[in-house]
Structure 1
């Protein structure tokens, strides 16, 4: 489920109207008229069945609903509060609170909102099973009154969605996805001619509605057949086939078309660019790639690969095409993929005002990542403008803990991790000496371990500004090995740098233990992780001939023949999945090569699980362009990251980058000189043992920071920042701030694994009821 949250309060007054116009365009709504300092708030999400919900709040304005470019669909607008008039051609309707306005996708309708208002706009594809064979889409707008029985029921359902839209999860929305098309179908059928009902009292239509739902929920079953569905609904297969023939289709044809459509949607989604075509077709119930390709070409006029690579899919895709490297490693050689990715340009999205807002795709490959360090001298791999969106692929530096599951068959991961006796694709892995003269472990010595995608330059960013990185979506990167196709994995290493290492009870002591997890996201249940197996680290000889007694160098390939896998581990335990970035950083100004492990005021290895989808992180700019890097993706982590790592799992994210100039109107961003996280409900203030260790500790900072960390120092820094935050944002006195910090704010340990230990303060927005 993808979503969007937006408020004009994030923008200076003179930019609000243009920003609001662009936000509405993202949900296919046009801003017709509004004051320059218009207030608007938009919360939207699109469900798995492509039903789009958008809750809109604002001051008086006029907007236009126009889904004519998005294929056959029905739209509804529930007025929650305020006054509204709807105009479509010569038709004008006055809408009261609780009433539902609806129309077909081609009916451009202007909504005059003459007061402060709240409304919920819903777009429902006409191809959903409950609507597919129903009455035609309405050609004019209509008003479903709240004083009718059906109106009250449908209004109640939509109002509950509007009230919970910020909190709802994909699992919680699934019943609404099923119920809403049924409500709409019943509403339309209530005034349909008897012929459209398919028989007396709509009996046959009712049966088909249930059949359609059964098929939709079981599309991924390659053995699904008409006999199973007929038996499930207590009818004969012959009768069911006749019902389908009534609507001009066979059971088999309907099933194939639904599977093709689900495949098409995945092939066009930026969040599935890393998945192969084979993975997608197998997921939706096809079991033969050749017949799938033929059927796809017959249906859409091009092959699946041509569809994925097409620069102009028009209305067929229903969204801006996302172009990047080919996703199917079995079809295209690695070298061809890398060259194709290098020559690909990002698609352009609509623009707010005069500034063109774009969507970039940043894949992982040797020339788009840096391993184990930050630097103000790194050349940007792309440049973005404030407001631009970026789909970012990131790799975990622990993928070689189980290369079979996390690297093999994945062209991006293979290209980054490639290491033979002749050399590595990426030589420098850390901020140490390239000649390995310090410890002899390899170039960079592992003084810094994280694979970071970037850096990304932000146009116009200069010291004193603040960059906001909004994480809109974050998903695990599935395995590309055919043996594990479609499944995602991560690694947790209880390593020598962990807090536990010198405090073990059982033998052998000391020891390092790696646990491999599967990250599961099955439909109908909350995402979770299960342990697959664990093993004790044994000395590993790398391809260069160096023996590693410990996990002391990033990317060491683990030879499965040298370890003993224990599959009896963490049985019957489910770990909730909380995908987030461990590392989000801007380039620091104080040193040339900076170890990626200790976090500081520039961000870096923050390791706070709240930095996931729906959150923003604010980072102070230290060098021109900012130079944003992202990495260290985690599937889950507890506060403290006690054993040294989380569930380290490669991820793909969609982010938006916002530049806040030094004189921003937001009081809690102005003069910000430390990283801060903001979620829907909380501000998260981050403190460190040494907040600016590169400056505080002098020339030996990158060595001494590991020796001088303590929770006391981190707590002191976090307290000072939180006190300053409360005195700034709420204009509290120091005494008021201290009292509130003690009675209403939770302090916690972010991590004790990264050299520069971290403490965070959770300031709940609900404290400020006014």
Structure 2
């Protein structure tokens, strides 16, 4: 996580040689994801590194007054620490129908040259730097893991969470134990992008909330610095995009949002040709993540039970494609050695992911060669 000194407005700290995609208000998507035919905001080659600014939706929404200066000002945030493009977007004449569109602000799309349907796009997170020294955790009516129980009052609950730096240099969010109290709990920061995706092969733009084979609002908290996400390309050029930045999130994201806050992300985009992708990963029905230690297949569905089943199926297929493992033996291995975890239960389509240790297969990989 890179250092910052309070706020990173558009263009601040950008080296002239860096590929850079700013989050200017007139070019942002709001509540929808790119689809076939959308204009690319940046064109790159496979292997290029891009610095991308993202904007959190918290502080912009209607139940917060659609006035980030006023809303954050009510929490004693100096106006200079509010992102200019957030203010411009909220004040713009752009309409957003909460019944038809999601809340998320999206930066992109990025066209990756010579990338075609059937290929995979790998997005590797090289750096995530906070753009502001605060975040927000929200719970809204009809949403979250306990709809009808929370929020307990008539209004949505949005908890302002300042960010502190400890003496050892680590960053954490500060959440009070009771409203207005002095005692607080520290939330260690582990920044990641909740939305990473490719354009769908359709004329209509997707709602920004439910994730799918295109990626989108996966909310997978393991895609931190050094991790990658693999996405099946649907349209020429991939038309990649990112958004929904988080400072931290627990598995499940039970209240509806986690610690939402704007990030500047440095990302590498690599196209993996269809033949190589099929050999290495098989046919992906849902996004696949990878860390230094784990392969992370995902399963998605409107119900958590089926999401779990889809994740197990994806894991069995991955082990067969990558290591030549027989399905019944892969099923046994997963039962004995792999953790299946809840990604999120709040995005209309729920998610489960598995953490398969790559080290368990090092000897078999050498034997295959």
Decide: shared fold, TM above 0.5: yes
Matched with 1:403 is 72
Matched with 1:286 is none
- Which structure has more RCO (C-alpha within 8 Å, separation ≥ 6)? 2
Deviation at 1:406, TM superposition (A): 6.9
Distance 1:326 1:577 in 2: 22
Which stretches in structure 1 are left out of the alignment for 5+ residues?
3-265, 277-323, 328-340, 348-358, 430-442, 479-487, 535-565, 690-708
Q: CA-to-partner distance for each residue in 1:491-540, whole Å, 9 max, x for gaps?
A: 00122211112235xx9456532111112334524321102698xxxxxx
Counterparts of residues 110-125 of structure 1 (less than 5 Å) = none
Deviation at 1:377, TM superposition (A): 2.6
Q: CA-to-partner distance for each residue in 1:20-43, whole Å, 9 max, x for gaps?
A: xxxxxxxxxxxxxxxxxxxxxxxx
Matched with 1:87 is none
Matched with 2:237 is 625
User: Which structure shows the bigger proportion of residues in helix conformation?
Assistant: 1
Question: Quick check: 1:654 aligned with 2:249?
Answer: no
Counterparts of residues 149-160 of structure 1 (less than 5 Å) = none
Paired residue secondary structure (2:185):
coil
RMSD: 2.7
Counterparts of residues 564-583 of structure 1 (less than 5 Å) = 566-568=179-181, 571-583=183-195
Distance 1:417 1:498 in 2: 26
Q: CA-to-partner distance for each residue in 1:348-370, whole Å, 9 max, x for gaps?
A: xxxxxxxxxxx311111123311
Query: Any conservation in 2 of the 1:407–1:413 contact (CA below 8 Å)?
Result: no
Q: 1:666 to 1:712 in 2, by over 3 A?
A: closer
Counterparts of residues 471-620 of structure 1 (less than 5 Å) = 471-478=125-132, 488-496=133-141, 497-503=143-149, 508=152, 512-522=156-166, 524-531=168-175, 566-568=179-181, 571-620=183-232
Query: Any conservation in 2 of the 1:468–1:657 contact (CA below 8 Å)?
Result: yes
Matched with 1:363 is 22
Deviation at 1:272, TM superposition (A): 7.5
Query: Any conservation in 1 of the 2:110–2:240 contact (CA below 8 Å)?
Result: yes
Counterparts of residues 675-694 of structure 1 (less than 5 Å) = 675-689=287-301
Q: CA-to-partner distance for each residue in 1:590-612, whole Å, 9 max, x for gaps?
A: 45121010000000000111011
Q: 1:741 to 1:596 in 2, by over 3 A?
A: same
Distance 1:633 1:411 in 2: 14
Deviation at 1:446, TM superposition (A): 5.3
Q: CA-to-partner distance for each residue in 1:219-262, whole Å, 9 max, x for gaps?
A: xxxxxxxxxxxxxxxxxxxxxxxxxxxxxxxxxxxxxxxxxxxx
Moved over 4 A (4+): 271-274, 443-446, 507-511
Query: Any conservation in 1 of the 2:47–2:268 contact (CA below 8 Å)?
Result: yes
Computing the radius of gyration over CA atoms, which structure comes out larger, 1 or 2?
A: 1
Aligned pair count reads 349
Deviation at 1:387, TM superposition (A): 0.9
Counterparts of residues 283-362 of structure 1 (less than 5 Å) = 325=11, 347=17, 359-362=18-21
Q: Pick from 704, 717, 727 the counterpart of residue 310 of structure 2.
A: 717
Deviation at 1:444, TM superposition (A): 6.4
Distance 1:688 1:611 in 2: 17
- TM-score, normalised with respect to structure 1: 0.43
Distance 2:120 2:356 in 1: 20
Q: 1:407 to 1:620 in 2, by over 3 A?
A: farther
Query: Any conservation in 2 of the 1:711–1:758 contact (CA below 8 Å)?
Result: yes
Q: 1:462 to 1:445 in 2, by over 3 A?
A: same
Matched with 2:247 is 635
Deviation at 1:683, TM superposition (A): 1.1
Matched with 1:295 is none
Query: Any conservation in 1 of the 2:176–2:185 contact (CA below 8 Å)?
Result: no
Q: 1:736 to 1:469 in 2, by over 3 A?
A: same
User: Which structure shows the bigger proportion of residues in strand conformation?
Assistant: 2
Q: CA-to-partner distance for each residue in 1:599-658, whole Å, 9 max, x for gaps?
A: 000000001110111110001100111111100000111101101001111011111111
Paired residue secondary structure (2:279):
coil
Deviation at 1:575, TM superposition (A): 1.2
Matched with 1:644 is 256
Deviation at 1:576, TM superposition (A): 1.5
Q: 1:468 to 1:383 in 2, by over 3 A?
A: same
Distance 2:185 2:196 in 1: 30
Q: Pick from 419, 438, 448 the counterpart of residue 102 of structure 2.
A: 448
Q: 1:582 to 1:406 in 2, by over 3 A?
A: farther
Question: Quick check: 1:417 aligned with 2:30?
Answer: no
Which stretches in structure 2 are left out of the alignment for 5+ residues?
65-70, 364-369
Q: CA-to-partner distance for each residue in 1:2-24, whole Å, 9 max, x for gaps?
A: 7xxxxxxxxxxxxxxxxxxxxxx
Counterparts of residues 88-107 of structure 1 (less than 5 Å) = none
